[in-house]
Amino acid sequence: MYRGRFAPSPTGPLHLGSLVAAVASWLDARAHGGEWLVRMEDVDEPRCKQIWADSILQTLERFGLEWDGAVIVQSERKDAYQAALQRLKDGRMAYGCACSRKEAGEGRYPGTCRQGCAQVRAWRFLVEDEAVSFEDRWRGRFSQDVGAEVGDFVVLRADGYFAYQLAVVVDDGEQGVTDVVRGADLLDSTPRQILLQRALGLPTPRYLHHPLVMGEDGDKLSKQTQARAVDEMQADVALAAALGFLELDSRTLEAAVEEWRNRWVKGR
Ligand code: GLU
C-alpha cells in the first residue's frame, strides 16, 4: 500500500516553495490511490511556532489538499527518537562528541571524537567509508560518499534537540512511508537518511526530489528568507503557479492527478 507524506517545518506560513512540495506529494499519493499523511516537523523547537503549524494546515485545507489520519507532531515524539539513539549507541554506531561548532568545522567532520572525549555535548552517527546510491524517480541515480563528503553527522544536538536526519528516518519508518516526494534541497540529505535506515533496520522508501522554486536572487525560497505566504495570493493563481512549476499543464488538482499518473506512475 502506497503511503506518502508532506512534512513541513512550522517556521512560517506556507509559501510557494512548500506549496509545490505539498502538491507534488499529494498528487503522487492520489495518483497511486494511496494515503497522504501530514507531519509537523517541529523537531527544531526554538525555530517553530504553533501559529505556523495551524496556519499551514488551514492553507492545505483551503487548497483542497486533504490528508489521511491524524497529524503527527515531532516535538511529541522524543521517546521514539531517544529509543532510536539508544539502539545506535548499543550497536556502537553512535558516539559522544565534545566539539564546539567551531572545532567541528563547516565541511566534513574529521572524526575528532571517534576515540572518545571528556565532555559529551552532542551525539554523532558513525559513518563507514562507503558510497550510497539510490534511484531518484525525477533525477535518476544519485550517489554520495557520505564518509568523504559529510563525515560522522549529528543525531542529537548539543542544545538537546534531536537532529532532523534522525527524526525524519524514525518517523518515516514508524509511519510506514513507502514514498518520499520533496524538494531537491533534501537530495543530499537522502544518503545520510539511507544510512540511518540501514542502521535502524528500517526499509528505504522510494524517493522523488522535485526542482526547487527559486527566489529572484537565485536562492531557494524559504520561510527564513521571508518568501511571500501563498495566503496572500489568490488560491487559483498560487495553484496554477505550483502546477506549472511541476511541469504540468493542468490547472486543477483533479486534472493534475491524471496528468501526474500518466507521467510518473503508468509504465514505470
Ligand atoms: N521538514 C523539512 C522541510 O520543511 C522537510 C523534510 C522532508 O520532507 O523530509 O524542509
Dist CA 159 CA 177 (whole Å): 29
C-alpha of residue 117 to centroid of ligand 1, in Å: 32
Quote the pLDDT of residue 149: 95
DSSP letter at 108 equals S
> Closest ligand 1 atom to the C-alpha of 11?
4
Quote the pLDDT of residue 39: 98
For ligand 1, is residue 169 a contact (CB within 6 Å)?
no
Quote the pLDDT of residue 130: 77
C-alpha of residue 190 to centroid of ligand 1, in Å: 11
Dist CA 239 CA 142 (whole Å): 30
For ligand 1, is residue 184 a contact (CB within 6 Å)?
no
> Closest ligand 1 atom to the C-alpha of 21?
8
> Closest ligand 1 atom to the C-alpha of 183?
8
For ligand 1, is residue 41 a contact (CB within 6 Å)?
yes
Pick from 133, 113, 129, 123: nearest CA to 156? 123
Q: Whose CA is nearest to atom 7 of ligand 1?
A: 7
CATH class of 3-265: alpha beta
For ligand 1, is residue 172 a contact (CB within 6 Å)?
no
Sheet containing strand 140-145, edge to edge, reads 140-145, 131-136, 206-210, 179-183
Quote the pLDDT of residue 101: 86
For ligand 1, is residue 8 a contact (CB within 6 Å)?
yes
For ligand 1, is residue 7 a contact (CB within 6 Å)?
yes
Pick from 9, 54, 16: nearest CA to 227? 16
Give residue limits of the domains in the chain.
Answer: 3-265
Along the chain (268 residues), what's the average pLDDT of each consecutive run of 10 residues?
98 93 98 98 97 97 97 98 98 96 90 93 92 96 96 97 98 98 97 98 98 73 64 87 94 97 89
Quote the pLDDT of residue 214: 75
Quote the pLDDT of residue 232: 77
Quote the pLDDT of residue 44: 97
Quote the pLDDT of residue 220: 65
For ligand 1, is residue 19 a contact (CB within 6 Å)?
no
For ligand 1, is residue 9 a contact (CB within 6 Å)?
yes
Pocket test for ligand 1, best of 3, 5, 9, 42 (most atoms within 8 A of CB): 9
